[in-house]
Homo-oligomer: A and B are copies of this chain.
Amino acid sequence: MKHKKNISSNLISIHKAHMQNAFKNANKGTNKVYPNPFVGAVIVKAGKIMGEGYHEECGKAHAEVNAIRMAQTHAKGADLYVTLEPCSTYGRTPPCTTAIAEAGIKRVFFGAYDSNKKNRKKAEMALKTKNIETVFIDFQKTNDELNRVFLHNLTSKIPYVILKAAISLDGKIMDSKGKSKWITGAQSRTAAHQIRQLSDGIIIGANTFNKDNPKLTVRLAGNQKFKDPAKIIISASGNLKTNNELLSKNTKGEVIIFTSEPVSAKLRKNIKNNNCIVVSMGKALKQISLKGCLTYLKKRGYHNLLVEGGAKLLGQFIKLKLFNELHLYVAPKFFGGNKGSFCGDKTLFTVNNKTFLKLDKIKQINNDLYLEYRNVYRNNKSLK
């Protein structure tokens, strides 16, 4: 069977619609999927959906297999739509091409090629030998956008990093009295929790730790499908309040404190969370190497980190251009004063410095505004 390039336009729109449904399924993936990509699948026979599936967790069944399991015997003679070229090699699970053939699938439509060049087009070959037709419908861009965290982690030594701030129109994260609850509306805060939920680690600075005493939990219905993101604190001085929520037994997920020695005995004693580790990044440092922290976190298995502040830490990440995305929730408020800028009070760039951000998404959330910027500098592979 040859890779077909021409299908009639009516048919194409039907195939595309099925593929879009496969992508909807892929989007159900959680932060348990890392380091794998998000993949979704749909099985269709005589125009009816017989099975659907997505990759739910690294090490568990792939999307195709989940869809086949749901379709049961109806998979025989059916079409499979899968967002990504099926795997054809033994990894954590057996090859999907085998499962597809065993289920009696007639045709396989896939939306994107494997990002690993060694495996690319191998599925087509494997399926061809089993007399299964393969059709590529070009959703490569959709897939690459969906799997940007995965793709970044394939080649980068540091995790994908998102900076997030809720600000006033004059760019501040607090009013002149230091209050920040709440700048944006309830709906914006829910949207921010959805991003938090997809991350596998949330990074904060010492000031936020001490001042806000945050729980950094995901407060959304249906969150039990996700794993609790790690809570990561960066504090050169190690002067952290000892009665903090994040040190308590109740905190779920790993807690990592990056610091410069020594950490007080009192602090160590107050760490009641068995999943808390203190990582020394060198002695007597005024500022900890953020790149060093990120490299450590990548090695420890983190792929998608969210930096929530405070302003000083956000400013450091910005100054180093050490992030992939910037998410701003902008409330129609003015605080005034000369403090509280979301990127701290250190000088960053000048009017003449080349812009390294691309405006990627704009969304109105009630009276707030959501802005999503991509760091062009960081996302340029040659600069990783």
Contact = CB atoms under 8 A, between A and B. Distances in A.
A318 interface: yes
A267 interface: no
Contact of A350 (B177, B341, B345, B351): B177
A166 to B, nearest CB: 11
Nearest to A352: B179
Given A170-B342, A170-B343, A350-B175, A369 B364 contact: no
Contact of A337 (B174, B176, B345): B345
Interface stretch (A6-14, A90-98, A109-117, A326-334): A326-334
Nearest to A172: B171
Contacts of A183: 351
A45 interface: no
A191 interface: no
A332 B369 contact: no
Most chain B CB atoms below 10 A, which of A177, A180, A337: A337
- The DSSP consensus for interface residues of chain A is loop
A226 interface: no
A338 interface: yes
A348 interface: yes
A338 B341 contact: yes
Contacts of A318: 334, 336
A139 interface: no
Contact of A332 (B179, B339, B355): B355
Most chain B CB atoms below 10 A, which of A341, A346, A357, A358: A341
A169 B171 contact: yes
A168 B167 CA distance: 13
A190 to B, nearest CB: 18
B169 A351 contact: no
Interface string A337-376: 1110111111111111101011100101001110101000
A351 B333 contact: yes
A343 to B, nearest CB: 5
Contacts of A369: 359, 362, 371
A342 to B, nearest CB: 6
A205 to B, nearest CB: 16
A332 B182 contact: no
B347 A333 contact: no
Nearest to A373: B332
Contacts of A296: none
A119 B347 CA distance: 60
A5 interface: no
A181 interface: yes
A328 B169 contact: yes
Interface in A280-337: 315, 318-319, 326, 328, 331-337
A260 to B, nearest CB: 24
Contacts of A341: 170-171, 336, 338, 341
Contacts of A346: 336-337
Given A175-B351, A182-B351, A357 B335 contact: no
Nearest to A354: B333
Most chain B CB atoms below 10 A, which of A181, A338, A351: A351
Interface of A: 167-172, 174-177, 179-183, 315, 318-319, 326, 328, 331-339, 341-353, 355, 357-359, 362, 364, 367-369, 371, 373
16 contacts: A167-B171, A169-B357, A170-B341, A170-B342, A179-B350, A179-B352, A181-B351, A331-B355, A332-B357, A335-B347, A335-B348, A336-B341, A337-B345, A338-B345, A341-B341, A355-B367
